[in-house]
A and B are shown apart, each in its own frame.
Chain A
């Protein structure tokens, strides 16, 4: 579960800290008290920045760092595909062994495959990704925006 890549991201997080954004959300994981405040900045449909501040376990913090590294600079459509693929992997209960195609989409995020075997920790890995989805819906004013800011 604790892959080297996860520990690296945990110890040296990418893009941590709150910067200017178009929308801000605050999500919590009540079972363990992980919290994240996340802002997204868009340049048209391109993700200009994802900034965040939070506290929590190594899985939740590393996952936010990977998200920043993976999504910043991408177009929202591609980012949504990455988010959906990550969600599918995390909800697989360890049954998905990432193949080359999935690895190409998820890059560093494939290392969380092992976390999907631990039901209690899946929410930790998904926290920042659900926050990003929510913030993006707000920033881009999507009709089906799932607003659940706490």
Chain B
């Protein structure tokens, strides 16, 4: 077995993830390399979900009975865990949403309906980048179309990094918001937050960071990032689907208007008008995803019991090994950085002229699960002149042996279509 420095004890960790024992396609061992799409869930999270429903289920913030109080304590306890996980100055800065897309749409809508000085209108500009997931492109396109604001973006270099050479022309005095991804879901690139934040602060623009591919894989400190908003999702970090997070700076959350109206987000309601609850409840209309928040809290406990620094080191070692092995596969071209430096554990590639759907299908026949397509980042495919990519992405339970299986699988694909 390949030994790499910094690896976690995956033999122990994998015992926590029941699905990793599955055999697929007539007894082949599952090799799950689609972690950037969603992670698998440990027993600890699955137990927290069923325990919640079996023992505590009630609606939150409204009953006086025992279950309602316990369910509320569990839900709000999950908020405490998230706040501590991202080093938020206050727990009231943590808004639960259903996913990162909703978090980003929430920011776009807050700014579209805001008063000065936050208001995005026809005289202002929005800045994103060419490597965004569609969830951090389309909400801003919608906002630009509805307000007349101008949408601008940073392009990419040939080696898969942000081209910041024209940063002073892209981010200007007219810029109201700069929204960008911390770790690209398709290229794997880790972006230079500090340079972008510095320029945004110079011109007084707000900064929103999509941390969907960062929160599961590395320590996340919203104060160190110096952003105004940070969005991520639970299901990529061992939590259930249906729960996302938006962290926002407290004074902004106090000033900015609500987006969705409904129960729970109000202070008083009359037939003519309403006043709103303080953040975060102002932004959480309706019954929230209670069990899912509890599950996310359990996922955070699980990840922290292993340690985010250790998870980062584990994935870095795997990425270094994978990049080096994949580059030896004939006709394989990595789309994105070709070293492990400032790089996450999602690796996209093309394999000669073989279409990624064919690559993915033949790998699947060998039990290897990868993602194929444009990964909700079609502008990246257009930028590099490719229709789609195959993407392998790793997590805390991934092993060097699985990378070996991938490389062998790709040899088989080449022979099959060669």
Contacts and interface: CB of A to CB of B under 8 A. Distances in A.
A2 B412 CA distance: 14
Given A55-B387, A56-B355, A7 B361 contact: no
Given A32-B388, A121-B361, A58 B417 contact: yes
A32 B374 CA distance: 7
Contacts of A31: 373
A124 interface: yes
Given A56-B355, A124-B357, A33 B387 contact: yes
Contacts of B416: 2
Contacts of B381: 33
A58 B387 contact: no
A56 B358 CA distance: 9
Given A31-B373, A32-B388, A57 B417 contact: no
Nearest to B389: A33
Given A7-B417, A33-B381, A56 B361 contact: no
B361 A33 contact: no
B100 interface: no
Nearest to A31: B373
Contacts of A32: 355-357, 372-373, 388
Contacts of B372: 32
A118 B357 CA distance: 12
Interface residues of B, number: 16
A85 B416 CA distance: 30
A23 B208 CA distance: 47
User: B354, B355, B372, B387 — which one has the most chain A CB atoms within 10 A of its CB?
Assistant: B355
Contacts of A33: 373-374, 378, 381, 387-388
Interface string B378-396: 1001000001100000000
- Chain B's interface: helix, strand, loop or mixed, by majority? helix
B400 to A, nearest CB: 29
Interface in A116-131: 118, 121, 124
Contacts of A55: 355, 387
A121 B356 CA distance: 12
B414 to A, nearest CB: 13
A118 B378 CA distance: 24
Contacts of B355: 32, 34, 55-58
A59 B357 contact: yes
Interface in B319-333: none
A54 B372 CA distance: 19
Interface string B389-418: 000000000000000000000000000110
Contacts of A35: 387
A59 B358 CA distance: 8
B377 to A, nearest CB: 12
A140 interface: no
B349 to A, nearest CB: 16
Contacts of B387: 33-35, 55-56
Interface in A99-150: 118, 121, 124
A34 B388 CA distance: 9
Interface string B341-366: 00000000000001111100110000
Nearest to B373: A32
B358 A58 contact: yes
Nearest to B387: A33
A1 interface: yes
Nearest to A58: B358
A31 B375 CA distance: 10
B274 to A, nearest CB: 41
A7 B355 CA distance: 13
Nearest to A118: B361
A10 B362 CA distance: 15
Interface in A21-40: 31-35
A121 B360 CA distance: 11
B276 to A, nearest CB: 39
A25 to B, nearest CB: 19
B369 to A, nearest CB: 13
A2 B360 CA distance: 13
A121 B357 contact: yes
Contacts of A56: 355, 357, 387
A34 B374 CA distance: 11
Nearest to B372: A32
Contact of A1 (B361, B373, B378, B388): B361
Interface in A1-20: 1-2, 7, 10
Contacts of B357: 32, 34, 56-57, 59, 121, 124
23 contacts: A2-B358, A2-B362, A2-B416, A10-B417, A31-B373, A32-B356, A32-B357, A32-B373, A33-B373, A33-B374, A33-B381, A34-B357, A34-B387, A35-B387, A55-B355, A56-B355, A57-B355, A57-B356, A57-B358, A58-B354, A58-B417, A59-B357, A124-B357
* The 7 A-B residue pairs with the shortest CB-CB distance in the complex, in nearest-first order: A57-B355, A57-B357, A33-B387, A33-B388, A58-B358, A32-B357, A57-B358
Given A55-B387, A59-B357, 19 more contacts: A2-B358, A2-B361, A2-B362, A7-B417, A10-B417, A31-B373, A32-B372, A32-B388, A33-B373, A33-B378, A33-B381, A33-B387, A34-B357, A55-B355, A56-B355, A58-B354, A59-B358, A121-B357, A121-B361
